Structure 1
Amino acid sequence: MSATVQRHRDSPRVRRLARDHGVDLAGIRPSGRHGRATSTDVLTFAAASAQPPSPAPTTAATSVRVERLSRRRRVIAERMHRSLQESAQLTTVIEVDLTHVVTVREAVKNEFRSRYGVSLSVLAFVAEAAVRALADHPVINAELDLGAGTVSYPSSVGLGIAVDTEDGLVVPVIRDAGDLTVGALARRIAGLAARAREGSATADDFAGGSFTITNTGSRGALFDTPILNTPESAILGLGAVVRRPVVLASETGEELIAIRSMAYLSLTYDHRLVDGADAARYLTSVKTRLETPGRSWADSVGVQEVAR
């Protein structure tokens, strides 16, 4: 039976509805009894026909600049990805009051710069406290070899300092960092960072690391979750130092509000070796050293001490 004859079987109402909507009944797939089109068929077809066609894809007006990865950027990318693949990383964060540190730094920073030509940074104080605390928490400075089923505990601390350069992040190492004062660490950090940024650092400057610190607050970040510099088992992040009100307890036990210099310390560690309790105990040790007002900070950065 031809389509024309078939359409004559549609009801007058359906044919009228089709004319009103400009629908050719021959193009409709009928859903009614005996192959007849229904009003719903007509209205559905008309609605579908009224939809504007999807626009053809157009070429973007702006161009895309494509660059090859630099050798250093490729190495960084590969190491960061491998670090996440090879270890079970977890981050614990603690808040620390750096008011005493900031007070000491403000008192001696001008004399320090005048004598040595470098800045006495808060990072140096944190690095000294972090390294000293490793002596009481050696697992933070250890290295796991899961394949061999062994844990290695270095006799000294190779302190890696993450440095932001134009070519990407690099981590030069301060060897035997546990023997250095705040002033000595400040000078070593400044010297390594300068060589790394100038491109004059040697391969020897990057060897021997066992624990790393990254100053994530140098660009204003409160804290982050650093990625391990494998095969090391931990990395400490220092967030921005921020002046803000905090609740303190007076000597009489009363609570009071004071403006303090606060910062976050974040420790990322390999959970295959370091437990959360280990990380918390280590961070508490670092916090205690930084918050103790009676410490010999001045001796550690003063003229007599740093003149060695």
Structure 2
Amino acid sequence: MAKFIFKMPDVGEGVAEAEVVEWHVKVGDRVEEDQHLVDVMTDKATIDIESPVAGTVVEVAGEVGDVIAIGSMLLVIEVAQEEGGEASEEQAEAAAEQIEDDMSDAEGADDKEPEPATVLPEPAEWSSFTPAEAEQEKGRASTSSARTDHKVLASPAVRQRARDLGIDLGEVKPAEDGRVRHGDLDAFLAYNAGSGFGTAGKARGDETIKVIGLRKRIAQNMAAAKRHIPHFTYVEECDVTALEELRADLNSARGDKPKLTMLPLLIRAICKVVPDYPMINARYDDEAGVVKRYGSVHLGMAAQTDAGLMVPVIRDAQSRNLWQLAREIVRLAEAARSGKATSEELSGSTLTITSLGPLGGVATTPVINRPEVAIIGPNRIVERPMFVSDGMGGERIAKRKLMNISISCDHRVVDGHNAASFVQGIKRLIETPALLLVD
């Protein structure tokens, strides 16, 4: 037998290290050639690494969350020697080189996000059991649905909840197949609320969750942004009544075009104002002491996903019409949520917009997407009474739709007057929306 040291392959130009996101093997496991070994993350792309050889894993480098340099030992595999006594290490090295060739273009690896390993899930009712407990409970359930007060079929989580609530599981009637579930406890509580079982809710157990992968990248980026950038935030109130009427009119005649939300209209306004304030659409290299101002608006669009916050980029937003913007917003948001966004689609933004839609609140103080120098945050639309012109030199009270726009800027690059003037330019356009359609 010989030991083959499998080193972290080169997963892309400019990538010096990768973070271990998930191990699919452990010491002692037998692996085959091309078997999925580990998932690693570089920047925002997750890459699966396969074994170049067959053998037995005898050592792995680090745990989930650890960062491993390119070229450092990833794991050690014990491989069989060939007949002549020569180890098959040369073949393994050749296979490893092939893996590096396959992954040498980081963009290529990023462009095609690896599909997660297929795992057949256990039925939900067994998910809280250890494998041994699950098999034991499955056997009980399949051989008999009989139950007594002392022998009730329920997962450990259900049992713990029942103990916390002071409920005897023997008194709970299961809805199906003899197994007590959380829904059965809920029904029992509702029926017996008058007996003192009604509660305001259940306490959750304490959890310790390791910060890894995309969540770790987000934490690092946000901390770096707040640590290095002196933020200031400016908020302005805008009357979007006419803009909402325009949006409704455009949607009513859109045909097969995508439905317009408020976002494409805001992006259109931003792109029309940016040329007058080039320091807003810029990136600041604080180490080199250089600000690069961009002619094109590559607009980052903060999108919430199950994995965390991602920022896909609308390229050349200033060159797209409203319908093209709407279509690109939908496409990029779906790509981000499904994990199919490419590295190019997740990098290179020059300015970012972040919106929580109806959850947007009254005002926000968004954190700048470093190394950009500004981030724009439209807030929730609310209806309020306002004094408006009655057309005869007087005023009347009318119901209007209002929305606050927040902008956070890097005070090293953007002055308060410029930020305020930039937002006032956007306000003028969205309060007179016909100007948005004039080139």
TM superposition score category, shorter chain reference: 0.7 to 0.9
TM-score using structure 1 length: 0.72
1:148 is aligned to 2:288: yes
Residue 66 of structure 1, aligned match among 208, 229, 236: 208
1:282 is aligned to 2:405: no
Residue 265 of structure 1, aligned match among 405, 408, 411: 405
Q: What do the CA deviations read for 1:163-217 (whole angstroms, capped 9, x no partner)? A: 1111111100011111112221111111100111111111110121000001133
RCO higher in 1 or 2 (8 Å CA, sep ≥ 6)? 1
Residue 185 of structure 1, aligned match among 317, 325, 335: 325
- Structure richer in strand, relative to its length: 2
d(CA) in 2 for partners of 1:277, 1:156: 23
Q: What do the CA deviations read for 1:246-301 (whole angstroms, capped 9, x no partner)? A: 2223444422211111100000000011111000000000001111154364x89x
Residue 212 of structure 1 corresponds to 352
1:91 is aligned to 2:233: yes
d(CA) in 2 for partners of 1:280, 1:151: 20
Cα distance, 1:154 vs. partner?
1.1
Report the CA distance shift for 1:181/1:64 in structure 2 as closer, same or farther (over 3 A).
Answer: same
Cα distance, 1:62 vs. partner?
6.5
Listed as ranges, the matches of 1:1-308 within 5 Å are 63-112=205-254, 114-116=255-257, 118-295=258-435, 297=437
Residue pair 1:143, 1:153 contacting (<8 A) in 2 also: yes
d(CA) in 2 for partners of 1:248, 1:111: 29
State the one-letter code of the partner of 2:364: D
d(CA) in 1 for partners of 2:204, 2:305: 30
d(CA) in 2 for partners of 1:212, 1:179: 17
d(CA) in 2 for partners of 1:262, 1:62: 39
d(CA) in 1 for partners of 2:337, 2:252: 24
- Structure richer in helix, relative to its length: 1
Residue pair 1:99, 1:262 contacting (<8 A) in 2 also: yes
> Hey, which bits of structure 1, 4+ residues long, moved more than 4 A?
none
d(CA) in 2 for partners of 1:200, 1:131: 27
Residue pair 1:163, 1:193 contacting (<8 A) in 2 also: yes
- Structure 1 vs Structure 2: percent identity of aligned residues? 35
d(CA) in 2 for partners of 1:222, 1:76: 25
Moved more, 140-149 or 162-171: 140-149
**Which SS does the other structure have where 1:231 is aligned?**
coil
**Which SS does the other structure have where 2:413 is aligned?**
coil
For structure 2, the 5+ residue unaligned runs are: 1-202
Residue pair 1:142, 1:210 contacting (<8 A) in 2 also: yes
For structure 1, the 5+ residue unaligned runs are: 1-60, 301-308
Residue pair 1:119, 1:190 contacting (<8 A) in 2 also: no
d(CA) in 1 for partners of 2:275, 2:357: 26
Residue 44 of structure 1 corresponds to none
TM-score using structure 2 length: 0.51
d(CA) in 2 for partners of 1:230, 1:293: 31
**Which SS does the other structure have where 2:384 is aligned?**
strand
Q: What do the CA deviations read for 1:122-152 (whole angstroms, capped 9, x no partner)? A: 1111111012111111111122233333221
d(CA) in 1 for partners of 2:330, 2:431: 24
Residue pair 2:358, 2:381 contacting (<8 A) in 1 also: no
